[in-house]
Amino acid sequence: MNPYSKFVADQARLLNEAKGFPLGGLPPAARPQIPADAPRALFFAPHPDDETIAGALALRLLREAGMNLINVAVTQGSRKERQAERLVELKGACDYLGYGLQTIVPNGLENVTAWTRQNEPQLWGGMVKVIAVMLAKYLPRVIFFPHERDWNATHIGVHYLVADALHQMPAGFVCFTVETEFWGAMDDPNLMVEVSAADLADLITATTFHIGEVRRNPYHLLLPAWMMDNVRRGAELVGGQGGAAPAFQFAALYRLRKWSAGRFTSVLTGGKFLSSTQNAAELFA
């Protein structure tokens, strides 16, 4: 018997079985006690669920670095009839992981796209000021937001929204910036972060709290496969062409930089692999 036939059949069987697992409603995962004066990290989420899908490093900062992780709900989705419900689902997901949650306007911002930036500067400028207020309020040590080619129009819009808000901050404002990917893969990530099986299980579980979305498309069940493929991609995109793959089973890819003196600056020489045995805090020393 070809052993790979069983390997593929077992993958298909497990995926099919998982479609019957419960959605949401599980008790919160264990989380550390975070002091009130802990450094803050802001996750600027284009949609409810991005905080769990692309949040592997954010979760590690909460658990390993003791950072106060706050999800900023930039939008609550484009379907108005679902926006209130999506906020309830988002609260459940954030509570499960131990994230804080910051809404910014009722029902979230609308039309956060590069088209709006180009064609409606007054509307765009008002939204940029909202994000700048969040940066000034929390003075984060780390911020997360999508990279500029993340395909989805709102993801791309949030990239430019946060970047434009950074340009409005005082000259002395400094923070680390972590650009995420989901819909569109980065050509130039410089950081591959190992995701432990325990953390991945918690990210999947948190994603199931977005019940209306995963009933439509059970993408939470594909997160392991995506993170396995990230190991394949990251081995060469981050480690260098022809490089050996690290012994990671699951990983997430990011672009790590720093905002300083009014511009993005490099903090890594070449690419970096962060294993699950290292403390994520070392990236932001």
pLDDT tens per residue across span 103-137: 999 999 999 999 999 999 999 999 999 999 999 99
Which one-letter DSSP state was computed for residue 169?
S
Name the CATH superfamily for 38-284.
Answer: LmbE-like (3.40.50.10320)
d(Cα 266, Cα 258) in Å, to the nearest integer? 6
> Average of pLDDT values for 217-224?
97
pLDDT tens for each residue of 14-52: 999 999 999 999 999 999 999 989 999 999 999 999 999
Please give the single-letter amino acid code of residue 37.
Answer: D
Q: Which residue has the tokens 């991945």?
A: 200
d(Cα 58, Cα 43) in Å, to the nearest integer? 8
Strands 251-260 and 263-266: antiparallel
> Average of pLDDT values for 56-64?
98
Strands 175-180 and 263-266: unpaired
> Average of pLDDT values for 188-192?
98
d(Cα 180, Cα 253) in Å, to the nearest integer? 7
pTM: 0.96
